[in-house]
Amino acid sequence: MRFLRIIEGKTRRDIIRNKVFRRTLKMELVELKIEKRRLGWLGRIHRKGEDRLPRQVYEARPTGKNKRGRPRNSGNSSRKKHRVENGPQLNPR
């Protein structure tokens, strides 16, 4: 956030929260930026033909046994969670 303080001409001694800097400079939240990029990528994958490798990898469902221990989260599980919460929005622009 140091660069935002430089843009505003403030220092850390002024004790201004980061939220205030983001609001005054009209910055988008990082989470929203990441979500837009993910949805844009998902839209590109769905526009590709069925024979393209990235689409095949995305739609592949592995078979076999899972490893022992705590299950790790994958990118697919977070995308599925997002689709359940927000619905399938393929083009965020």
Is 92 a member of any domain?
A: no
Is 22 a member of any domain?
A: yes
What pLDDT was estimated at residue 31?
85
Q: What is the pTM of this model?
A: 0.47
Residues of the chain scoring pLDDT < 70: 1, 75-76, 78, 82, 84, 87-93
Is 91 a member of any domain?
A: no
Is 47 a member of any domain?
A: yes
Is 49 a member of any domain?
A: yes
What pLDDT was estimated at residue 30?
82
**Which residue range forms the structural domain that includes residue 38?**
2-59+78-86
Is 93 a member of any domain?
A: no
What pLDDT was estimated at residue 10?
78
Is 67 a member of any domain?
A: no
How far apart (Å, rounded) are the C-alpha atoms in residues 39 and 17? 30
Number of domains in the chain: 1
